[in-house]
Structure 1
Amino acid sequence: MALPASPFTCRFAPSPNGRLHLGHAFSALVNVEAARRMGGTFLLRLEDIDTTRCRPEYARGILDDLAWLGIFPDAPVRRQSAHFAAYAAAIARLEAMGLVYPAFESRSQIAGAVIGLESATGRPAPRDPDGAPLVPFPRSAMTNAARAALRDQGAPFVVRLDMAASIAAVRDLGGGPLSWKEAQDVPEGPLKTVEADAARWGDVVLARKDVPTSYHLSVVVDDAAQGITHVIRGMDLYHATSVHVLLQRLLGLPTPAYHHHRLILDDSGYKLSKSNSATSLHALRAAGATSQDVLRRLQLASGARGEPAYPTPST
Structure 2
Amino acid sequence: MSTATPTGDSARPSPPPYRGRFAPSPSGPLHFGSLVAAVGSYLDARAHGGQWLLRIEDVDQPRTVAGAADEILRTLEGFGFAWDGEVLVQSRRLDLYHAALVRLQLADEVYPCACSRAEIAAHSPRRSIDGGLVYPGTCREGLAGGRAARAWRLRVPDQVIAFDDRIQGDVQQNLEAAVGDFILLRADGQYAYQLAVVVDDAAQGITAVVRGVDLLDSTPRQIWLQQGLALSTPTYAHLPVVTNDAGEKLSKQTHAAAVDLSAGSAVLAAALRFLGHAVPQEISAGPLRDFWPWAIAAWSIARVPARRGVCPG
Q: What TM-score bracket applies, with the shorter chain setting the length?
A: 0.7 to 0.9
1:203 equivalent to 2:190? Answer no
CA deviation digits over 1:75-95, x for unaligned, max 9? 100111111111111111111
User: 2:26–2:56: 8 Å Cα contact kept in structure 1?
Assistant: yes
User: 2:114–2:143: 8 Å Cα contact kept in structure 1?
Assistant: no
Aligned residue type for 1:138 = T
User: 1:182–1:193: 8 Å Cα contact kept in structure 2?
Assistant: yes
Aligned residue type for 1:197 = N
State how many pairs are aligned: 273
1:290 equivalent to 2:263? Answer yes
Taking the aligned partners of 2:84 and 2:258, their CA distance within structure 1 comes to 25
User: 2:60–2:190: 8 Å Cα contact kept in structure 1?
Assistant: no
Offset of residue 68 of structure 1: 1.9
1:17 equivalent to 2:23? Answer no
3-state SS of 2:63 partner: coil
Of all paired residues, the percent bearing the same amino acid is 35
Offset of residue 146 of structure 1: 3.7
Taking the aligned partners of 1:46 and 1:15, their CA distance within structure 2 comes to 6
Structure 2, unaligned stretches of length 5 or more?
Answer: 1-14, 284-290
**Please, which of 146, 153, 163 is the counterpart of residue 160 of structure 1?**
153
Which shows bigger deviation, 23-32 or 271-280?
271-280
Aligned residue type for 2:162 = S
1:304 equivalent to 2:292? Answer yes
Query: Following superposition, which runs of at least 4 residues in structure 1 exceed 4 angstroms of deviation?
Result: none
CA deviation digits over 1:104-124, x for unaligned, max 9? 22233334x16xx6xxxxxxx
User: 1:6–1:41: 8 Å Cα contact kept in structure 2?
Assistant: no
Aligned pairs for 1:1-315 within 5 A: 7-111=17-121, 113=122, 125-136=125-136, 138-140=138-140, 143-144=142-143, 146=145, 150-151=148-149, 157-164=150-157, 178-184=161-167, 194-199=171-176, 200-281=178-259, 284-285=260-261, 289-298=262-271, 299=273, 301=279, 302=283, 303-305=291-293, 306=295, 307-308=298-299, 310-313=304-307
3-state SS of 1:76 partner: coil
Structure 1, unaligned stretches of length 5 or more?
Answer: 118-124, 152-156, 169-176, 186-191
